[in-house]
């Protein structure tokens, strides 16, 4: 058995489809226009509904109006900052071609068996990036780069979500839902107060006053904004529940989709520790930023990875994990099941 070496060297320029700016401090996905659509949609709907409802509240009750207006505007600003950071941060691109020549296998589809914390796991060679992909990494076809602790390619920020920007995505979802937790009561309170005020000033019945309040200038726009926010809130709640469940189990979306841990999850953190690690992560420096000279490859945290066999060069394109696992098990006489990374 040999310990896995973490290769060191100057990060080379990456190819792939990501867009770079400011000496690669800003990394956008190939479909970054999606993030711009989300930012525009959220800015107009959150701020639009907050300003209209806030104005009605301020007219009827200055203190309550200012409280809701300031709170929703601050939370909305956090939402926009976090979604933009998720879209613009390097998700954890692994520099290409950094594997030492003697470690490059003959085939681009080579695999090797490693043990992650004692659990047999398949490590794949990425023919495009010419690197042995560390456990939990994955090659994103859209960005055309290998991403450290790849979670998924997010269609809403147009970028990959991985080791370096996952926490921003989570904070975006949570701050958006927090802004809605204040935004919805604010709108209900604004319409109710407007109705009560009309009821007394124009001597109307409660139903008539409510109907008149709904015909006030800006109501139509408010309901369009509300429709967008209600729809997006349901979507975000569902997304948050999915991610919280995965964080609890220390599993990424990619690992869930590929059923990577069918035979056991080798990563030790469980439950609340995972939430702390995700919300306050120890984010490593970007490996592609100009001037970076640190390791180009790293192991997942709290992991003891050992190579238990030489590279196998005969993995055919499309060969299933089940087939591969059984062939590796017979090759190495491993008794336990083999996980795919």
Q: How far is the CB of 40 from Zn ion (least distance, A)?
A: 22
Q: How far is the CB of 283 from Zn ion (least distance, A)?
A: 18
- Long-range CB pairs of 144-149 (<8 Å, 24+ gap) are 144/15, 144/16, 144/17, 145/14, 145/16, 145/17, 145/18, 145/93, 145/94, 145/96, 146/93, 146/94, 147/91, 147/92, 147/93, 147/94, 148/91, 148/92, 148/93, 148/94, 148/298, 149/92, 149/252, 149/300
Q: How far is the CB of 187 from Zn ion (least distance, A)?
A: 36
Residue 162, both tokens: 């991985």
Nearer to Zn ion, 57 or 83 (CB): 83
Nearer to Zn ion, 45 or 99 (CB): 99
In the set 154, 236, 279, 303, the catalytic residue is: 154
303 is catalytic: no
Nearer to Zn ion, 89 or 175 (CB): 89
Handedness of CA 235, 236, 240, 241 (dihedral sign): negative
Nearer to Zn ion, 57 or 169 (CB): 169
End-to-end CA distance of the chain: 20
Residues in the chain: 341
Q: Which chain residues interact with Zn ion by CB under 5 A? A: 126, 128-129, 139-140, 142-143, 146, 153, 160
Q: How far is the CB of 47 from Zn ion (least distance, A)?
A: 29
Question: What residues are annotated to the active site?
Answer: 154
């Amino acid at each position: 058995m040999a310990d896995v070496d973490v290769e060191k060297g100057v990060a080379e320029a990456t190819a792939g489809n990501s867009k770079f700016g400011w000496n690669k401090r800003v990394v956008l996905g190939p479909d970054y226009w999606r993030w711009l659509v989300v930012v525009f949609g959220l800015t107009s709907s959150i701020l639009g509904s907050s300003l209209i409802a806030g104005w009605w509240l301020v007219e009827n009750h200055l203190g309550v109006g200012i409280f809701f207006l300031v709170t929703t505007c601050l939370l909305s600003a956090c939402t926009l900052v976090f979604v933009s950071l998720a879209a613009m941060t390097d998700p954890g691109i692994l520099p290409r071609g950094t594997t030492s020549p003697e470690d490059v296998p003959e085939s681009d589809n080579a695999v090797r068996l490693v043990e992650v914390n004692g659990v047999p796991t398949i490590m794949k060679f990425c023919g495009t990036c010419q690197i042995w992909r560390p456990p939990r990494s994955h090659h994103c076809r859209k960005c055309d780069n290998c991403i450290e602790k790849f979670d998924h390619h997010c269609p809403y920020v147009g970028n990959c979500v991985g080791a370096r920007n996952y926490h921003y995505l989570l904070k975006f979802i949570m701050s958006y839902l927090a802004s809605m937790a204040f935004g919805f009561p604010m709108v209900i309170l604004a319409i109710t107060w407007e109705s009560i005020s009309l009821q007394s000033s124009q001597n109307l019945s409660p139903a008539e006053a409510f109907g008149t309040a709904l015909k006030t200038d800006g109501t139509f726009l408010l309901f369009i904004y509300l429709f967008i926010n209600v729809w997006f809130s349901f979507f975000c709640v569902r997304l948050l529940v999915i991610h919280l469940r995965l964080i609890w189990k220390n599993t990424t979306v990619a690992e869930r989709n590929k059923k990577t841990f069918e035979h056991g999850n080798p990563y030790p953190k469980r439950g609340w520790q995972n939430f702390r690690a995700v919300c306050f992560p120890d984010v490593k420096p970007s490996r592609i930023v100009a001037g970076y000279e640190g390791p180009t490859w790293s192991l997942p945290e709290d992991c003891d990875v050992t190579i238990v066999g030489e590279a196998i060069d005969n993995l055919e394109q499309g060969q299933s994990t089940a087939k591969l696992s059984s062939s590796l098990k017979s090759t190495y006489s491993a008794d336990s099941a083999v996980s795919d990374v």
